Structure 1
């Protein structure tokens, strides 16, 4: 009786395993693509206004970072040094060895501070300098904390465009 029942369900088990293998292969493909090629990110907050609006969905790529070709003007997704679980989207203002001058507190004084970016680090700032938490607060970001470079806005359709490097 047991062997007959096993023979009856064998085709269903075989089909289930076949579909499970397909799903596993697809998930592996998605993982490899998002880790080594490109990914999708939804941007929130006002720090990158007017370049990006709250809710923009962008495409990011990791190849440029892996080749060591991320530089001034590129928009990148980085892990925050003070909160490594969080990622933020910022523009690279300076790379290792560059001197950066910025207002220490734009709201209360006009005193400027100058910092030389250490080797292996990047200086990142939001395009909306009056409403951005960036390297001016948490310092230079180690290059290893760069996740990817933003290269395309895909949503909403009215903002659909390629993102280049804007050095300012």
Structure 2
């Protein structure tokens, strides 16, 4: 009977250790820093078409410390199961002048970014679905700010604007 008690005690101890580790990973990944793979044409030439692995910090946006020029990870307003990476162009109260579709028209439109929203755009205006298509984005959809490029090795380092 003592052998079973000893085995159960060890199993419980190991299970607690694994649970603590998983809790630490969850907190780190969701509230501090996480890696993300970003690919596609919308952020060319800033990001590679074939993909970049970047680190995203999840602290700045919680303290309203992101602004124009920052590249952010945002939950897509069109499909909440997807994340998009775009540059912040305007904050609440800003007046934004933009071309709705530069391949079709050169008529500029103007919009005022409402309270609690941001205006995001991809760096490649010809291949980006962004605020020009779906309007201002609620600030609450911002998931984090990109700050460090891990891959490709040739671009390893701090992710600047």
Identify the TM-score tier after normalising by the shorter chain: over 0.9
Give the corresponding residue for 1:99. Answer: 95
Give the 5 Å matches for 1:13-92. 13-53=8-48, 54-92=50-88
1:40-65 CA-to-partner distances (Å, cap 9, x unmatched) read 11112111111111321111112111
Partner secondary structure for residue 96 of structure 2: strand
Q: 2:143, 2:121 → 1: CA distance?
A: 16
Larger Rg: 1
Is the counterpart of residue 9 in structure 1 residue 17 in structure 2? no
Q: 1:162, 1:102 → 2: CA distance?
A: 29
Q: Which moved more, 1:56-65 or 1:155-164?
A: 155-164
Name the TM-score, length of structure 2 as normaliser: 0.93
- The count of aligned residue pairs is 160
Q: Aligned Cα RMSD in Å?
A: 1.3
Name the TM-score, length of structure 1 as normaliser: 0.90
Offset, 1:152? 0.4
Residue segments in structure 2 that go unaligned for 5+ positions in a row:
none
